[in-house]
A and B are shown apart, each in its own frame.
Chain A
């Protein structure tokens, strides 16, 4: 971004883009990176299948704390049931 600003502020034939233009252009580039760049990178890295699975399952892969992840609400009781309250587990194990 620093490079972008420097590039934009180099005078060319008397034309010097304003700082506001730099900001607008940066925002457009950011938008394009997200909408086109990220899907492309996903393919290029060979992560398409995995990323599609994450999208289909609606996982907030960037969510950093467990209460922000919807799936945790189902996972927790499921694990508790499997370990503590699974019917007949003891009999089956014997």
Chain B
């Protein structure tokens, strides 16, 4: 049984990690595409239109990969998590179906129109199609986050005698206090990713002395979007999320902050430290006293419950993974703010395009927003453990009892092989598009 849970979780973690590489870019990029197109309509400078069309090609490749890698997710609910789907389908089925019916179709239809229809529709309608692609991709995020918010903080439900969850209040799904902060935090984090992608392509062009005008535009736009989004992702949205975790999932909050023992007179914030699960303490810790209490409750001396206040069954089952995921996310977020603030300052001083070490840094930083986004999701998902639906349905009660661990392992290996192939294809396609550049013959 333990084996079955482990492999089911491992397979889902692998497939969703790979899947989330793609939508995290498309959501943020769609906003930047709308910006480029809107700028073009205002100033009629061709490079803005080139940029919108160029990034829509990158968007299309990512969107396609997102569709392909999203298919196993849909199947896995039935294959690996049949009991979970059977019990909660009456609720999560609503939001997941809305995601498919409203967002996916909106996004894919208008994506095709944006790519093919500029000449037919004219510039204003072309902007509108770009906006509808953006709307579709953000609505998609909204419905997925609504599903996840219900799992993190279940509301508006009733449990029948047979254990099935049914929806009692439809609007409660969307007014869930967990949803809005999680949505804003997630969307802004995806804007951070897209900003770094746009800026790094710009840095690449400048360093290669190729497509310089577009390179400068990409770098400038990426840096401005990156600075704004990396600040907003920390405050207020990240702060709001953390307060939600402290309020609704206090055991998860203690674990992700690395608080083993409750301190009566205010909790410290841990900057660095390694969880020692045997001795129940953090090794080699560097911490600042009372800051966590202040950040969470605006009270320096407010007590925050440590893991010692909770039963073992209530604590997340992998405290080190949760602790490291959270700290990697926060650490990287801080680095992003620093880099983007420096780049924005140099942009203002008109020196950014000539400082090669910074251009190299921006170019090579591109994988890190992806890592930060993924570790953010790991924090949310590991923090919810040992539950699938927080406080109501344990993960061990949601798996498919008839699917063996050997079967799951076999398909996991298959996914690894196929995803390596897809990943390679993705890199070739994106590399080719970047190499052609925004002023390719296709434009």
Do A and B assemble together? no
B residues within 8 Å of A by Cβ?
Answer: none
A residues within 8 Å of B by Cβ?
Answer: none
